[in-house]
Amino acid sequence: MYATRGHECDVFAGASETSASTIEWVMSELLRNPRVMAKALNEVRQTFEGTRNIDEIDIQKLDYLKLVVKETLRLHAPGCLYPREKCEINGYEIPSNTKVIINAWAIGRDPTYWIDADCFHPERFQGSSVDFKGTNFEFIPFGSGRRICPGISFALANVELVLSQLLYHFTWKLPFKINPEELDTSESLGLSCRGNQGLTHTTAEGD
């Protein structure tokens, strides 16, 4: 019973923290990329025109928003460092009981696998089979294998539902005289990878 309770706490605590940071990063990238913001906003409003409430089933219709979330996870993996166990890499054996850290942040920005790796371009995932479910090792924001994040479904539902509501009900923009490229996206490490400054310098108009 205690083990089950512990797993449940891990899922909800971990997914809540990482969901919050991912939502913040998505909004930051949308504000830095007005073209993507306009496209995502139009999709949400055209899909749910005349609707007051959006539920988890509805968000399955938002294909472009899902691409935006994928691209955000590539650049800003919620858990950017993953510990692992014994393995052999390129002929080098990593002994048991050695703490090994996998840098998911660097993997998601590796130009060997990603064209214009530092650019925010959601369309790169359009028609692509690359996904974050642990089988494509160039894209592991939730880890992989038996230790893949157990809260992945819970986290994604949270992120997509909140984002669709934010884009449907509000028009987001930066304050006067702040250019998109000036938005601070420096990062700090904790339970998740969050922005140093937080997304505090934005204004929103209700629709």
In the chain the domains, ranked by start, together with CATH numbers, are: 2-206 (1.10.630.10)
In the three-class reduction of DSSP (H, G, I as helix; E, B as strand; rest coil), residue 136 is classed as coil
Residue tagged 């390129």 (tokens): 90
Cβ atoms 22, 76 nearer than 8 A: yes
Rounded Cα distance, 61 and 133, in Å: 20
Taking Cα atoms as reference points, which of 201, 207, 192, 168 lies closest to residue 72? 192
Rounded Cα distance, 93 and 17, in Å: 34
pLDDT more than 90, % of the chain:
32
Task: Please determine, for residue 179, whether its predicted confidence score (pLDDT) is greater than 60.
Answer: yes
pLDDT reported for residue 173: 84
Residue tagged 């449907």 (tokens): 168
Rounded Cα distance, 205 and 207, in Å: 6
Rounded Cα distance, 45 and 169, in Å: 9
What's the pTM value of the predicted model, to 2 decimals? 0.77
Taking Cα atoms as reference points, which of 58, 57, 82, 70 lies closest to residue 22? 70
pLDDT reported for residue 177: 75
CB atoms within 10 A of CB 199: 18
Instruction: Specify the higher pLDDT residue, 64 or 141.
Output: 64
When pLDDT is cut at 50, 70 and 90, the band that residue 64 belongs to is very high
In the three-class reduction of DSSP (H, G, I as helix; E, B as strand; rest coil), residue 10 is classed as helix
Amino acid occupying residue 7:
H
Task: Please determine, for residue 120, whether its predicted confidence score (pLDDT) is greater than 90.
Answer: yes
pLDDT reported for residue 11: 59
pLDDT reported for residue 196: 56
Count of alpha carbons within 13 angstroms of residue 131, beta-carbon side: 7
149 annotated as ligand-binding = yes
